[in-house]
Homo-oligomer: A and B are copies of this chain.
Amino acid sequence: MNKKTIQIKEIFDLYYSAPIEVWDTFAERLKTVTFNKNEEIKFPNTTEKKLYIINKGSAGIFLWKENHPVCIDLCFENDFFGDYLSLLTQKPTPLYTVCFEETEMFYITFSDLIDLYENSKFGAKIGRIAAESLFIHKQSQQIELLTQTAEQRYRYLLSKQPHIIQRVPLKHIASYLGITSESLSRIRKKIVK
């Protein structure tokens, strides 16, 4: 059993247990790619052609708002990554994606994904589980924005990703939290005291 298979199994194990052959079917379609630090992977107003899984490193999903980028997701090891909206609709979106560090990702192309969904016994199920887990993640982000203060959201992010400060620029953490980097700076100052 190769590394990819083990990893894919582990990622999905949280949601769905299946025979090892299922994960092999998925893993054997995955290719590997490495991106440089700060490399842009998908550009705004283009169509996403791949679904990624981060093996090592980190990356973000962004959109441009007036004169500054807004980060809508911070992704790390074992996270799904990419402009999922564009992937599903196969239409261009304003979203773009960037690596924060030198990052190794696995990916499956859209055409392979469709083939998997249509022709593998478990393919559609894997696709469903993936979409469901992405929904759950998005809903928790929405609930945080609706119910927590910026300081609470920052503290929670730190608790989930203690090393995020060393890995992701603060300006992107700030926009992800829905605040300016000046405000994040004030919050950090207050917390240190």
Contact = CB atoms under 8 A, between A and B. Distances in A.
A178 interface: yes
A72 B135 contact: no
A2 interface: no
A31 interface: no
Interface residues of A, number: 29
Q: How many copies does the complex hold?
A: 2
Interface stretch (A33-41, A98-106, A138-146, A182-190): A138-146
A10 to B, nearest CB: 18
Contact of A178 (B84, B141, B146): B146
Contacts of A117: 125, 128
Nearest to A135: B135
Contacts of A193: none
A88 interface: yes
Contacts of A141: 138, 142
Interface string A123-152: 011011001101110110111011100000
A65 interface: yes
Given A63-B143, A72-B146, A89-B136, 18 more contacts: A63-B147, A65-B147, A70-B143, A70-B147, A84-B139, A85-B136, A117-B128, A124-B124, A124-B125, A127-B128, A131-B131, A131-B134, A131-B135, A134-B135, A138-B142, A141-B142, A142-B145, A146-B178
Interface of A: 63, 65, 70, 72, 84-85, 88-89, 117, 124-125, 127-128, 131-132, 134-136, 138-139, 141-143, 145-147, 175-176, 178
